Amino acid sequence: MGDKATADFSLEPTRNKEFIINAKEPFNAEPTPERLIQSFVTPTEHFYVRNHAPVPLVQESSYFLKIDGLVGKPLLLSIDDIKQQFEKVTITAHLQCAGNRRTMMSDYKKVKGVGWGIASLSNGVWAGCRLRDVLEKANAFPVGNGAKHACFWGLDVGCPEDEGKPYGSSITMEKAMDINGDVILAYEMNGETLTRDHGYPLRVIAPGIIGARSVKWLDKITVSSEESTSFFQRRDYKIFHSGVDWNNVEQYWDKTPSLQELSIQSAICIPAPNSHLFLPFSIYGYATSGGGRKIERVDVSLDGGETWDYAELMGEEKGNSNKYWGWTLFRYTIKSLATNHHHTTGNKSSIPIRICCRAWDSASNTQPKDVKDIWNLRGVMNNYSKS
């Protein structure tokens, strides 16, 4: 399947040595959980990297973005065109891989995919032009008039899962054209030119939906009546029900919708599992939701989910129009431990506790308790709360 053998990884950029590397080729890496939440905006060198192929080496001088498909006026745009012809907008948004926390899903039953811990997400500041403005300039057909999907293709040829094709993905035209949807074509990340690992010279940032739709090294936008024909839209990045396995998955490909908006999520980054803690101590973590929904509340439990208390929310920042694209960090400080609902070891100074957390968003959605309830073959959208 594909020409993985011919993929050339000799021109990969230099990466941060602190990364936890989940796959070398294509490169997939996440920061340590402790490192992840040191700041509200993740520094670029610590921002998780999810690649599907070798990183393309793009020369800005010969780069043109193509816009075609159901448009009245196909366009070819240089980076200068994009900077000069369209208003520059800046948004703060987190990106999160649909595979975040996948490794923990395999604890219940083996799933297939790049193994990710709890840090395949990061929070960034992105600047570029609105996708909406570009599509309007191309006279994209109106939504409902056949134009249903904005399909993105990258310059990263050589995806082993898709017969060596470049990475591709699509979003709905409603999201693409929504004035409060904040989809941008970004040429800056955290105030600087995009780095190669993050999509230089131009990438999609589609906030509130799975990271897989924010295509890097953007080559072409095709407005279509159909979703992207890419493997990553039609076969992968779907939640199959728990009865689907590798023997019957084919019959579920077409009838299972492709993932778009992120679900409600949270994780504890500090302390690390199996830490020895001394009173008082604090628990730190992140919480996120999709669609710009606000994190209203994070609950922390010290007894594996039997009883809960509210954590303190920190560093929340909203985008335009009351959309919360960024993550929310939280803290919960423990000054003393009641022993009534904990196992004691007989040694009063050492009490085992089972810390877990769950977030609630502005739509009153919360995380499922058990991995079993959301287990799926591809290990996507893992957001169970039990420790």
186: helix, strand or coil: strand
**Quick check: 212 binds Mo ion (CB under 5 A)?**
yes
Stretch 107-146: interaction string toward Mo ion, x if CB under 5 A: ----------------------------------------
Stretch 264-303: interaction string toward a second copy, x if CB under 8 A: x------------------------xxx-x--xx-x----
Q: How far is CA 370 from CA 245, 269, 374, in A?
A: 20, 19, 8
Binding site partner of 117, from a second copy, Mo ion, none, Cβ cut-off 5-8 A by kind: none
Tell me the one-letter amino acid at 137: K
The footprint of Mo ion on residues 16-75 (CB under 5 A) is 50
**Quick check: 260 binds a second copy (CB under 8 A)?**
yes
**Quick check: 262 binds a second copy (CB under 8 A)?**
yes
Structure tokens at 11: 């021109």
Q: Residue 98 Cβ, how far from Mo ion at the closest point, in Å? A: 5
**Quick check: 387 binds a second copy (CB under 8 A)?**
no
Q: Residue 120 Cβ, how far from Mo ion at the closest point, in Å? A: 7
CB 367 within 8 A of CB 265: yes
Q: How far is CA 146 from CA 150, 183, 280, in A?
A: 12, 21, 60
**Quick check: 346 binds a second copy (CB under 8 A)?**
no
Stretch 316-335: interaction string toward a second copy, x if CB under 8 A: -----xx-------------
**Quick check: 156 binds a second copy (CB under 8 A)?**
no
Task: Identify which range of 49-57, 84-92, 186-194, 239-247 contacts a second copy by CB under 8 A.
Answer: 239-247
The β-bridge partners of 378 are none
**Quick check: 161 binds a second copy (CB under 8 A)?**
no
Say which DSSP state 237 is in.
S
CB 225 within 8 A of CB 149: yes
Separation CA 260–CA 205 (nearest Å): 13
Q: Which residue lies nearer to a second copy by CB, 68 or 303?
A: 303
What are phi and psi for residue 26, nearest 5 degrees? Answer: -65, 155
Q: Which residue lies nearer to a second copy by CB, 257 or 352?
A: 257
Separation CA 219–CA 67 (nearest Å): 9
CB 230 within 8 A of CB 167: yes
Convert 226-255 to b/e letters by CB count within 10 Å (16 or more is b): ebbebbbbbbbbbbbeeebeeeeeeeeeee
Q: Which residue lies nearer to a second copy by CB, 228 or 289?
A: 289
Q: Residue 307 Cβ, how far from a second copy at the closest point, in Å? A: 6
CB 133 within 8 A of CB 148: no
Structure tokens at 267: 């994780």
Residues near Mo ion (CB under 5 A):
50, 97-98, 211-212
Residues near a second copy (CB under 8 A):
143, 172, 174, 178, 180, 239, 241-243, 255-257, 259-264, 289-291, 293, 296-297, 299, 305, 307-310, 321-322, 360, 362-366, 368-370, 373-374, 381
